[in-house]
């Protein structure tokens, strides 16, 4: 039976840097970088004839990462379920340095359950005590309509991540239209909330357009997303800034939690703080903000 780790041990991320699995010369530098999480990519960034070599190189990097005293959250985007490489990816990656698997092209809860079952079998065979998390990509119209069920399919799911390129390009939806992006972000955020998991924004492909990256990240932050993918190191600092809590926000959250605790001790469910009525939803958000600032996924 699957036993998820305590919530307090689950890490989230503000920034997640993609590292092509076919570029091993970048691995150690990325592990020492400023991103909260790394996502070694065995899927889109690797040609079919290079899949086996990239898999071996990434597995070796995971073993090195396990020996580091401090390291980012280590994620690997594997090839999609149903491809010839999927199960071999999971087998090779069952290394101590692996934290999460990023599952692409998930179309239903059944895809998540299939991946979870394979991971459970591999963990048992390796005598691994800490379960591997599943960050699940939502990249199609069908998956978006089922995202709530996908996110709730298994306790192993650590978040839902939006893939706008795969979602928009086949449908002819304009990525540069902010209304389109906002509508999709909102839909995914609601689905993730219903499933009780964080939502993560996907990559912004125009490396030179840092203003565009910031604007899209700020939109996601306002919708309650926890972090954003980066395709270049220069985007990492922006993601950390946008999704990190300011000193004023943390101070306010501390005051909200303290005031709520005092009110509860006095038998009151509502408190007025600086002229604002504070009740349960505000307290919950303040607690989540403080947890996230400590590197814990609420």
Tens-digit pLDDT profile for residues 54-81: 999 999 999 999 999 899 999 999 999 9
Res 263: pLDDT? 75
Neighbour count for residue 73 (Cβ, 10 Å): 20
Which string of DSSP letters, residue by residue, matches 229-275?
EESSGGGHHHHHHHHSPPHHHHHHHHHHHHHHHHHHHTT-S-EEETT
Q: In angstroms, rounded to a whole number, what is the distance separating the alpha carbons of residues 191 and 208?
A: 31
Better-predicted residue by pLDDT, 37 or 246: 37
Average pLDDT over residues 237-241: 96
Q: Tell me the three state secondary structure of residue 255.
A: helix
How would residue 265 be classed by pLDDT, with cut points 50, 70 and 90? confident
Chain mean pLDDT for the chain: 89
272 DSSP β-pair partners: 277
Residue 4, pLDDT > 60, answer: no
Average pLDDT over residues 110-119: 97
Average pLDDT over residues 43-57: 96
Q: Which of 82, 91, 93, 96 is nearest to 57 (CA)?
A: 93
Q: Virtual CA dihedral for 84, 120, 149, 204, nearest 10 degrees?
A: -60
Residue 159, pLDDT > 60, answer: yes
How would residue 250 be classed by pLDDT, with cut points 50, 70 and 90? low
pLDDT over 70, % of the chain: 87
Res 6: pLDDT? 40
How would residue 260 be classed by pLDDT, with cut points 50, 70 and 90? confident
Q: Which of 169, 226, 217 is nearest to 192 (CA)?
A: 226
Res 69: pLDDT? 87
- CA 147 to chain CA centroid, Å, is 14
Average pLDDT over residues 2-8: 47
Average pLDDT over residues 265-294: 69
255: tokens are 């005051």
What is the radius of gyration, based on Cα positions, of the chain? 20
Tens-digit pLDDT profile for residues 204-225: 999 999 999 999 999 999 999 9
Tens-digit pLDDT profile for residues 146-158: 999 999 999 999 9
Res 251: pLDDT? 63
How many residues are listed for the chain in this entry? 298
Q: pTM for the complete prediction?
A: 0.84
Res 271: pLDDT? 74
Residue 201, pLDDT > 50, answer: yes
How would residue 288 be classed by pLDDT, with cut points 50, 70 and 90? low
Q: Which helix (H) or strand (E) holds 125?
A: helix 109-126
Could you give the domains of the chain?
7-243 (3.20.20.60), 247-293 (no CATH)
The secondary structure of residue 132, as a DSSP letter, is P
Better-predicted residue by pLDDT, 191 or 3: 191
Q: In angstroms, rounded to a whole number, what is the distance separating the alpha carbons of residues 107 and 118?
A: 17
Average pLDDT over residues 262-281: 73
The secondary structure of residue 42, as a DSSP letter, is S
Res 261: pLDDT? 77
């Amino acid at each position: 039976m699957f036993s998820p780790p305590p919530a307090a041990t689950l890490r989230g991320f503000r920034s997640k840097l993609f590292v092509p699995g076919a570029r091993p010369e970048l691995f150690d530098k990325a592990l020492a970088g400023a991103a909260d999480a790394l996502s070694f990519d065995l899927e889109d960034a690797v040609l079919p004839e290079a899949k086996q070599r990239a898999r071996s190189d990434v597995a070796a990097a995971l073993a090195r990462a396990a020996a580091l005293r401090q390291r980012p959250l280590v994620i690997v985007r594997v090839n999609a379920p149903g491809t010839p490489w999927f199960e071999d990816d999971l087998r090779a990656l069952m290394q101590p340095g692996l934290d999460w698997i990023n599952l692409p092209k998930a179309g239903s809860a059944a895809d998540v359950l299939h991946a979870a079952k394979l991971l459970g079998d591999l963990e048992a065979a390796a005598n691994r005590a800490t379960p591997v998390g599943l960050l699940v990509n939502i990249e199609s119209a069908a998956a978006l309509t089922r995202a709530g069920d996908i996110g709730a399919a298994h306790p192993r799911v650590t978040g839902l991540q939006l893939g706008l390129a795969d979602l928009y390009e086949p449908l002819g939806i304009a990525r540069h239209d902010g209304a389109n992006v906002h509508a999709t972000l909102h839909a995914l955020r609601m689905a993730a909330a219903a499933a009780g998991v964080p939502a993560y924004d996907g990559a912004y492909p125009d490396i030179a357009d840092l203003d565009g990256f910031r604007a899209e990240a700020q939109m996601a932050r306002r919708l309650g997303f926890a972090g954003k993918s980066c395709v270049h190191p220069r985007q990492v600092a922006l993601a950390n800034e946008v999704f990190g809590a300011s000193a004023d926000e943390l101070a306010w959250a501390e005051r909200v939690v303290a005031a709520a605790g005092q009110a509860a001790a006095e038998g009151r469910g509502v408190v007025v703080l600086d002229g604002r009525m504070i009740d349960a939803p505000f307290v919950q958000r303040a607690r989540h903000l403080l947890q996230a600032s400590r590197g814990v996924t609420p």
